[in-house]
Amino acid sequence: MKSYTTDWIRNVGIVGHGDTGKTQLVSSLLFTAGMTPRLGKVTDGSTTTDWDEEEIARKISINTGLAYAEWLVPSKAEGQAPGQAEKAKINLLDTPGYSTFINETKSSLIAADASLILVDAAAGVQVVTEKVWDYATEYDQPRAFVLNWMDRELASFERALGSIEQVFGRGVVPVQLPIGSEKNFRGIVDLVAMKALIYTPDGDGKAKIEEIPADMAEAAKAAHEKLVELVAEGDDELMQEFFDKGTLPVEDLKKGLHEEVRDKKIFPVLLSSALHNIGSDAILNFLVDIFPSPAFRGKATGYKTPDHKGETIERKIADSEPLSLFVFKTVADPFAGRITYFKVMSGVLKNDATLQNFNRNSQERFQHVQVMQGKAGSEVADLHAGDIGAIAKLKETVTGETLGDKNAPIFYPPAHIPEPSITFAIEPKTRADEDRIGTAIHRILEEDLALRFGRDPQTKEFLLSGAGQQHIEVVVAKLRKRYHVEMTLKPPKVPYRETIRGKADAEGKHKKQTGGHGQFGLCRIKMEPLPRGKGVEFVDDVFGGAIPKNWIPSVEKGIRDAAERGYLAGFPVVDFRASLYDGKYHDVDSSDMAFKIAGSLAFKEAMKQARPALLEPIMHVEVYAPDQYSGDLMGHLSGRRGKISGSETRAGSVVVKALVPLSEMLSYANELISMTQGRGSYSMEFSHYDFVPAEIAEKVIAAHKPHHEEAEEAASA
């Protein structure tokens, strides 16, 4: 495989709400550019970027897929003899659009230099559309929209465009108009060149260029003028030229568009039917001509220390700089081993080089550096600044680490991924499964930053935490298929907490006389509630040495340990202050252990008086569906103790926002599917803890009590 220099590289994140056609579009772009012999389809599992068996089975993207298209740069090709014109390489990152897998989108998008945001031409802007826009803002990326599914029944250019303009503002401007609508959609008017591009449905993706149809001439002229004005507005020189001539020549218009897209002043809107391969060559032209090369940022910023704080270091995104590369993704393949995906941030990576992993202070050999076309890699001699590559069998490097020239250390900051919002207990089927689970999970954790694994200290169950039920189900399926570990998924766990509503004043006395010397410790504490989220506070209010200084931490430890074990039902007690104000000791019989026990006894005594109560996590939920379901959705959420905080209707869709206890959301995914015939989706994030209503609390406590009592006995034994 040929290697490309920085100016000839584009790194494009293909992002958008679930099912807007991202994977299908990438497939069409690859076919149009001649990278694949056939047009791969999501429906028959033959796309380049959804190659994982879970993705094929579920027909959705779970991981970010990498591919590249080599495509002639139109502005460079003009005036050059055939064969002399040069191609650029477009690295395409096909990201997931379902909320449960959106963390993967966020963590891989960090490697892109621009985002192409797909929008369903019938639905308009949806929840994830706004989310990926925010990611692009966070990563400082230029962006453009593609209205896909233009062939769909009820697809509407005007309505969908209206919803994008309404949400994302003035810089949004169409650079194309549709020719034909719904199933007769067959081409576009290019508003820069002012030509019609006509496609053969299910063809090679390359347009026949014609004059603009007479009945569209007026609309095209008006839209062209709007585009010219917007571009002129952003640049003084162009404004002057526009004043003088009343228009802009195509070359200046293109140049202005390129610069203002790069500067995030303009967000163009393009059109396609990805399934029928309409609009593909125009999109490829746009990506190489209007989107910037990785060098547009000028420099990459990293840190001097691995905690990504304090002093920063800057590197030019150029071959002349020392080599540095950032690992943005890891894939665990049971056969090929670990595959590490990285972006060259500065310098040139040569095949066979030995690099320093700065985070681990160790060396890694880069043998067989590759570029990926889906799951297939091809070897390259080198990769230039800004390019994206992959490498198999590194010893220990994982996602988020920086490697490079030993003499020029730098640490690039990784993507910030939110903590998991749901926890499931899993049960290995046999002893052999239990033995295998640790290693298998360890591999999956390496590739999935949004997953957590642990054991419940009380029940000793294995716990998997992730972004949603579907996320955990996919992990369990991977464990079974890839690593042959069989297990059952138990109903999800709700991380309840306990707290107090009132004050208390209590004594804890530990006294034992056994043979020689005994044990003695006595403490008196006051307890009071603190606001939500404050945790546990311990105050030392002892005067006059009633308890010697060295045993005060023992009392504190006793209280904290007991709080962690819980009082009502075994959930950690939080949001209270314990003040130690008095006590007694004995010169011979007092000890660290005696005061720990006294502390825990005082805590239990205080809990009796302090009106203990159960807390539950409340989730911020956003549900998206066609607006006909709006009433049902709100009624259903209210019935689940939800508080509706808002609903918005936009282009035929509704977004309902609500605060709902997590315990009521455990089977929501399935309920939503049956309520909306599979047309709804939702996202859920932790909001805060609140009291569980008394009658529900009683049931939760009754269900957890046996475990709790067992654990308490074990602790005091």
Q: Which residues bind ligand GTP (CB under 6 A)?
A: 16, 18-24, 42-43, 60-61, 96-98, 148-149, 151-152, 273-275
Partner that binds at residue 280, options ligand GTP, Mg ion, none, CB closer than 5 to 8 Å by kind: none
**Closest approach of ligand GTP to the CB of residue 151, in Å:** 5
* Alpha-carbon span 49 to 40, nearest angstrom: 10
Asked whether position 17 contacts Mg ion by CB under 5 A, the answer is no
Kind and range of the H or E element at 130? helix 127-138
Q: Which lies closer to ligand GTP via its Cβ, residue 98 or residue 326?
A: 98
- Angle (CA) 312 317 318, round 5°: 130
Residue 681's binding partner out of ligand GTP, Mg ion, none, with CB under 5 to 8 Å set by partner kind:
none
CA distance 38 to 41: 9
Alpha helices by DSSP H, 424-465: 431-447
3-state secondary structure of 375: coil
Task: Compute how many residues bind Mg ion; rule: CB under 5 A.
Answer: 3
Are the C-beta atoms of 43 and 85 separated by less than 8 Å?
no
Q: Is 95 in the site for Mg ion (CB under 5 A)?
A: no
Smallest separation (angstroms) from ligand GTP to the CB of 449:
18
Nearer to ligand GTP, 179 or 275 (CB): 275
Query: Judged by CB, which is closer to ligand GTP: 97, or 466?
Result: 97
CB of 704 to ligand GTP, least distance (A): 38
Type of residue at 199: Y
Question: Which residue lies nearer to ligand GTP by CB, 146 or 485?
Answer: 146
Q: How far is the CB of 200 from ligand GTP (least distance, A)?
A: 15
Q: Token match 């207990």: residue? A: 425
CB nearer to ligand GTP: pick between 128 and 574 = 128
Binding of Mg ion at residue 126 (CB under 5 A)? no
- Binding site partner of 409, from Mg ion, ligand GTP, none, Cβ cut-off 5-8 A by kind: none
User: Quick one: 61 or 100, whose CB is closer to Mg ion?
Assistant: 61
Judged by CB under 5 A, does residue 23 bind Mg ion?
yes
Residue 68 beta carbon to Mg ion: minimum distance, rounded to whole angstroms: 17
As a whole number of Å, the CA-based R_g of the chain is 30
* CB of residue 42 to ligand GTP, shortest distance in Å: 4
- For the chain, the residue count is 717
Q: Is 22 in the site for Mg ion (CB under 5 A)?
A: yes
Q: How far is the CB of 108 from ligand GTP (least distance, A)?
A: 13
Q: Are 302 and 315 in contact (CB under 8 A)?
A: yes
674: enclosing H helix or E strand: helix 668-676
- Which residue, 184 or 363, has its beta carbon nearer to ligand GTP? 184
Q: How far is the CB of 501 from ligand GTP (least distance, A)?
A: 45
Nearer to ligand GTP, 22 or 471 (CB): 22
Instruction: Please give the structure tokens belonging to residue 622.
Output: 């956003």
CA distance 444 to 481: 12
Q: How far is the CB of 375 from ligand GTP (least distance, A)?
A: 16
Q: Where in 251-336 does DSSP place strands (E)?
A: 267-271, 299-303, 312-316, 324-333
Handedness of CA 700, 703, 705, 707 (dihedral sign): negative
DSSP one-letter string for 611-647? -EEEEEEEEEEEEEEEGGGHHHHHHHHHHTT-EEEEE
Residue 700 backbone zone (phi > 0: left; psi -120 to 50: alpha; other: beta): alpha
Contact 47, 40 (CB under 8 A): yes
What is the DSSP secondary structure assignment for residue 100, as one 8-state letter?
A: G
Nearer to Mg ion, 3 or 23 (CB): 23
Of the candidate residues 32, 61, 105, 129, the single one contacting Mg ion (CB under 5 A): 61
Give the footprint of Mg ion on this chain (CB under 5 A): 22-23, 61
